[in-house]
Structure 1
Amino acid sequence: MSGALPTEAVGLVVHAAGDVRVEVVPVRAPRPDEALVEVRYGGICGSDLHYSAHGAAGLSILREPLLLGHEIVGVVHTAAADGTGPAAGTPVAVHPGREDPGDGSVRYPADRPHLSPAGTYLGSAAHLPHTQGGFVRHLPLAATMLRALPPDLPLRTAAVVEPASVAWHAVHRAGDVAGRRVLVVGAGPIGALVVAVLARAGAAEIVAVDLHEEPLARARALGATRTLLATDTEALALVQPDVSVESSGSARGLATAISATMRGGRVVMLGLLPPGDQPVPVATAIAHELDLVGSFRFDDEIDAVVAALADGSLRVDDVITHELPVTDALAALEIARDPRRSGKVLLTFGD
């Protein structure tokens, strides 16, 4: 690809709770270690919905305009000037996180850099200034954040690499699931991808539970062996899984996971709950000697996900339900808010 570097592009920016705009934003020139990426697809995440509706996602509070988006794939427009990273024309997925230990006063395991206290993530208000996101046609990115994709892997499929990596990390935190019974609480896009990763990992039984039938149908398409409505409390009590993965991001969902899991089992807490105290049955977790394990984003699982998508062992296409151009992004956000209408909603940014 050649020609003058673009200086502006259409993007999706949240200015405050309820104030989201499709507007022209400046495109800065890449630094020597950065490539300029032409974004082709961007998946709408729950955090994008929280920022746009509430001005916050978990503990991250919006304090200045934020370009949304971190689930992005595209093609390298201009390679990094220092010679690192993929060449121009290479299709790429983006790892949106970068490690930063800060001043060293906060400890974290060296082999889990995604837990670094000052680490950044595209489209996040965790720090000030915010880390601007990727819902824009042209985006300069550090070459180290790019993962070259096989040429025969459709970019539309690769658009779920980032959330699939989150799901992959959660299943890793669950331990060895081969031959085991696993309950997935919440069958939204992340929960559905957890189902897909569990199926690939050889779980013998995968039971998905949700408030609505539509997401459960998508979970079945991705490998759930059984599905239940959350209102069927008697059936839930009989599941007694070895492992539960809570992906609804609600206190009631976590309570369901704790109550349903077999004694001595494990609960992976993947869904991001609101800040502050939560009304969950901790006494049950203690009495049943459950392992409560947190799962936050991912580290290098993205490479395994790309490989699994390329060889066909990880099936994800059924989670994608909608594609809309970035110019219709406000409508896309509304569609993504309704789990009965949609799974993963993708924005498109041109050819």
Structure 2
Amino acid sequence: MLNCEIHGARDLRVTEAPTEPLAAHQVRVGIRAVGICGSDLHYYLHGRVGDFVIRAPLTPGHEASGQVLELGAQVQGLRVGQRVALNPSRNCGLCRFCRAGAANHCDNVHFFGSASKWPHMQGAMREQVLIDAAQCIPVPDALSYEMAAFGEPLAVALHAVNEAGPLLGQRVMVVGAGPIGALVLMAAHLAGARESIAVDIVDQPLAACARVGATQTINVARDAAALEALTEGKGQVDVCFEVSGSYAALAHCIRATRPRGTVVQVGSLHGSSEGCPLNQIMVKSLRYVGTFRFVDEYAWAVDYLSRGVLDVSPLLTQALPVEQVHAAFALAADRQQAMKVMVTF
């Protein structure tokens, strides 16, 4: 089978790998679409994501969908030929976090396409995967493989909104208008937000956010005054989501959020915190929330996509065949051109 491997910074190879034997509880899935996520880009561009360094060839990809090719002897409830979205997270169900309902912090998690453990956890950017039956969520034939592959990033957004608390009637701001930021906006509207503001430094993602329902967009690099207006009177926003991984973005959130409002950190912060008014978290009695991956929200995400509750199609920039995987990664890295780019098999 064809298999994409990242060997180091800008060293992505398409190889041929042997197929693996199927265990009784597993399903063999033919991958049809895989989204390129920010972490995949970091592995490709830098050979690492934060402290997680590639030490052996890593197959990326955790946003995936496909078709059931073969069922293990003990598998029930699925059929060969069925379309499925793939939950990339396999939790142990036994550790203290799983037992407490926080499986996103499982001590023994296996998560597609991550170098956070040794041996590395291989991802879905390959022709076939073996996966536990419980990780396969059936989707209707009418849902394209590309739309089904949005299940994972939408689950991240739904979890972030779920952790934010009640949003009914709230004014929401998202700083960082990439795919996750846009999906957070959509999830916030689904949760009842009355107004949503998208903030970024690039016009293209802001335009995409407008297409999926943002009531206001601000390019802070060009119109700092518009963002400054939201800081008046100790802050004009009820709930802010930091989705860029930037301390500058976090600073915007803290300044714009009203006293006793909520700031949700979705992005993985990097760089220097100098200039970020962290003390205002105390001064304004802000509720500061971190959010990581998802728990039950993956099933919710796939259900919403399957029933057409949310239309994420405006966020898909292009789907390229695996033979053009280098072009796909190059396009995904260009924020002036791309929101979500996928690789197809």
TM-score, L = length of structure 1: 0.92
1:85-134 CA distance string (max 9 Å, x none) = 521111100110122478x6x76761111111231210001110011000
8 Å Cα contact 1:58/1:273 also seen in 2:
no
Instruction: Say whether 1:234 aligns with 2:221.
Output: no
1:97-112 to structure 2, matched below 5 A, reads 97-100=89-92, 110-112=100-102
Change (3 A) 1:60 1:109: farther
Check 1:197–1:35 CA distance in 2 against 1; reply closer, same or farther (3 A cut). same
Q: Are residue 176 (structure 1) and residue 180 (structure 2) matched? A: no
From 64, 71, 75, the equivalent of 1:83 is 75
8 Å contact 2:92–2:108 — kept in the other structure?
yes
Find the aligned partners of 2:225 and 2:99 in 1 and give their Cα distance: 41
Residue type at the aligned position of 1:214: Q
Q: Distance in 2 between matches of 1:284 and 1:199?
A: 27
Residue from 12, 16, 19 that aligns with 2:8: 16
* Alpha-carbon distance in structure 2 between the residues aligned to 1:343 and 1:74: 22
Q: Give the CA deviation at 1:58.
A: 2.8
| Equivalent residue, structure 1, for 2:282 | 286
Q: 1:281 to 1:85 in 2, by over 3 A?
A: farther
Which residue does 1:6 correspond to in 2? none
Gaps of 5+ in 2: 231-235
1:322 and 1:344 in contact (8 A); partners too: yes
Amino acid at match of 1:222: V
Decide whether the 8 Å contact of 2:220 with 2:226 is kept in 1: no
Q: Calculate percent identity across the aligned residue pairs.
A: 39
Counterpart secondary structure, 2:131: strand
The answer as to 2:324 corresponding to 1:328 is yes
Instruction: After superposition, give the CA deviation of every residue in 1:205-237 in whole Å (9 maximum; x if it has no partner).
Output: 000001111110100011100000122332113
Letter in 2 for 1:147: I
Confirm or deny that 1:44 pairs with 2:40: no
Structure-to-structure mapping, 1:235-314, within 5 angstroms: 235-239=226-230, 240-274=236-270, 278-279=273-274, 280-314=276-310
Q: Which amino acid aligns with 2:227?
A: L
Amino acid corresponding to residue 283 of structure 2 in structure 1:
A
Q: TM-score, normalised by structure 2?
A: 0.94
Please name the residue that 1:69 is paired with. Answer: 61
Correspondence for 2:142 among 149, 152, 157: 152
Check conservation: 1:67, 1:134, Cα contact below 8 A: yes
Contact 1:85 1:144 in 2 (8 A): no
Letter in 2 for 1:47: S
RMSD in angstroms over aligned alpha carbons? 1.7
Structure 2 residue identity aligned to 1:184: V
> Retained in 1: the 8 A contact 2:27–2:130?
yes
**Equivalence for 1:118:** 108
Shift, 1:185, TM fit: 0.5
Counterpart contact for 2:97–2:105, Cα < 8 Å: no
1:16 positional shift: 1.2
1:57 to 22, 31, 49: 49
Which of residues 184, 202, 215 is equivalent to 1:212? 202
* Pairing partner for 2:343 from 331, 344, 347: 347
Question: Contact 1:183–1:209 at 8 Å: present in 2 too?
Answer: yes
Shift of 1:27: 2.3
CA deviation map 1:8-35 (0-9, x unaligned): x112111112211122223212211111
Q: What is the one-letter code of the residue matched to 1:175? A: G
Letter in 1 for 2:224: T
Point out where structure 1 has 5 or more consecutive residues left out of the alignment: 1-8
In structure 1, the partner of 2:233 is none
Distance 1:27 1:212 in 2: 43
1:143-199 deviation digits (Å, cap 9, x = unpaired):
111111123222221121110111111111111112110000011111111112122
Q: Secondary structure at the match of 2:22?
A: coil
CA distance in 1, matches of 2:266, 2:8: 26
Q: 1-side partners of 2:99 and 2:212: how far apart? A: 33
